């Protein structure tokens, strides 16, 4: 066998979503994009905002000397500062550039965080249903994934169930709001309850329990809703996000991680995460994209079209008898299948 046994097994059970995406690409090439409706991977259907095109043109016409050279592994200071100022607007915490690291998308950011905090065999709690790559990310760094069910009717967090799952080997919990795939947003009171419970468990266990908040859909919230900032409710929390959805740039792999300034050992965490960003081979987030998003931290795609599609599909799917929670954000549906599980 030319590859490791472990990876061969992973390939066998790798994401069906990716397999369907590749099949969709084949069908588009064969039959024309206008004849294929692709509901596979979460690729934005909108184009990036015009402001990004203007920033790109400006940078091309007025290049910054040395703009393609190596930089700090944490990213450009001015970009990190712009991110810090944006996050600070939504929380009681004062975020500084030193609390932010630019990453190769949210996927890169999650791997950096897990590499930084995990000891071999430590557990990371993930909440079902979840983004399927979490399992692989956790395993990448010697961790073990432990699943905890959300409420079966609302898909909201079940804080009591999370508390019951926490043991002496638990290191972190990954939350995702708005959630992929349910579209549920976790309200402030739930995050507050989670934070209070974790404080009790930290005192009981004598160790830090991290909450990693994966937030690529945070600006895709409907009906004027906002996504509460985890920093206001949970001390030992880390935000990981990207501009894949809010600026429609998934192929550019630009994102960031930010540490709560109140977090235990925050300076050591940032130092470790910068090191891991380097040694995982990311080295730094793409220089060109960092420069572009510096002035776009308050920008986002127009989500009107997404909300209209959500409303249309929800109306027709529920009209056909499908049961589902109406998504509050993101661009996914998670309907209950009328058939039994045929692959269990």
Both tokens of 45, joined, read: 């259907």
- Burial class from Cβ neighbours inside 10 Å (0-12, 13-18, 19+) for residue 14 reads middle
Please state the domain extents for the chain. Answer: 1-41, 51-294
CATH (residue range 51-294): 3.40.640.10
Determine contact, residues 139/4, Cβ cutoff 8 Å: no
pLDDT at position 28 over 90? no
Residue 343: is its pLDDT beyond 60?
Answer: no
> 134 pLDDT exceeds 60?
yes
C-alpha to C-alpha distance for 269 and 154, rounded to whole angstroms: 34
Report the pLDDT value the prediction gives residue 166, as an integer from 0 to 100. Answer: 99
pLDDT recorded at residue 37: 79
pLDDT tens, residue by residue, 137-175: 999 999 999 999 999 999 999 999 999 999 999 999 999
Burial class (CB in 10 A: 0-12, 13-18, 19+), 339: exposed
Q: Is 267 helix (H, G, I), strand (E, B) or coil?
A: helix
Q: CB neighbours of 276 closer than 8 A, spacing ≥ 6?
A: 112, 115, 116
Mean pLDDT of 106-112: 99
pLDDT band at 15 (very low <50, low <70, confident <90, very high): low
Q: Is the pLDDT of residue 22 over 90?
A: no
Mean model confidence pLDDT for the chain: 94
pLDDT at 12 over 80: no
d(CA 270, CA 28): 43
User: Is residue 330 a contact partner of residue 180, using CB atoms and an 8 Å limit?
Assistant: yes
Q: Which residues contact 294 (CB under 8 A, 6 or more apart)?
A: 76, 78, 79, 82
Helix residue ranges per DSSP H, 37-144: 50-61, 77-88, 105-117, 134-140
Residue 178's pLDDT is 98
> Which residue, 116, 100, 231, is CA-closest to 172?
116
Element (H, E) at 317: helix 304-319
pTM of the model: 0.94
Asked if residues 250 and 98 have their Cβ atoms less than 8 Å apart, the reply is no
Instruction: Count the neighbouring beta carbons within 10 Å of the beta carbon of residue 305.
Output: 12
Q: How confident is the model at residue 196 (pLDDT cuts 50, 70, 90)?
A: very high
Answer whether 314's CB lies under 8 Å from 326's CB: yes
């Amino acid at each position: 066998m030319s590859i490791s046994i472990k990876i061969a097994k992973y390939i066998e059970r790798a994401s069906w979503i990716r397999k369907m995406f590749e099949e969709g690409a084949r069908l588009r090439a064969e039959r024309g994009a206008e004849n294929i409706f692709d509901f596979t991977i979460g690729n934005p259907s909108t184009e990036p905002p015009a402001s990004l095109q203007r920033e790109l043109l400006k940078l091309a016409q007025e290049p910054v000397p040395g703009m393609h050279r190596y930089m700090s592994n944490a990213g450009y200071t001015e970009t990190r500062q712009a991110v810090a100022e944006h996050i600070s607007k939504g929380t009681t915490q004062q975020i500084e550039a030193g609390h932010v690291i630019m990453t190769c998308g949210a996927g890169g950011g999650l791997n950096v965080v897990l590499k930084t905090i995990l000891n071999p065999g430590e557990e990371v709690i993930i909440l079902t249903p979840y983004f399927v790559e979490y399992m692989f990310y956790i395993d990448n760094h010697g961790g073990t994934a432990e699943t905890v069910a959300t409420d079966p009717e609302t898909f909201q967090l079940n804080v009591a169930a999370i508390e019951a799952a926490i043991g002496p080997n638990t290191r972190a919990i990954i939350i995702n709001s708005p959630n992929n795939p349910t579209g549920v947003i976790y309200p402030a009171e739930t995050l507050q309850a989670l934070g209070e419970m974790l404080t009790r468990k930290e005192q009981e266990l004598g160790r830090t329990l991290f909450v990693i908040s994966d937030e690529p859909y945070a600006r895709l919230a409907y009906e004027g809703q906002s996504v509460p900032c985890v920093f206001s409710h949970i001390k030992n929390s880390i935000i990981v996000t990207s501009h894949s959805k809010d600026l429609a740039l998934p192929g550019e792999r630009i994102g960031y991680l930010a540490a709560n300034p109140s977090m235990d050992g925050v300076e050591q965490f940032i130092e470790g995460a910068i090191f891991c960003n380097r040694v995982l081979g990311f080295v730094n987030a793409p220089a060109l994209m960092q420069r572009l998003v510096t002035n776009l931290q308050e920008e986002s795609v127009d989500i009107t079209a997404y909300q209209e599609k959500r409303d249309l599909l929800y109306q027709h799917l529920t009209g056909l008898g499908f049961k589902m929670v109406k998504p509050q954000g993101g661009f996914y549906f998670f309907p209950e299948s009328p058939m039994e599980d045929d692959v269990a």
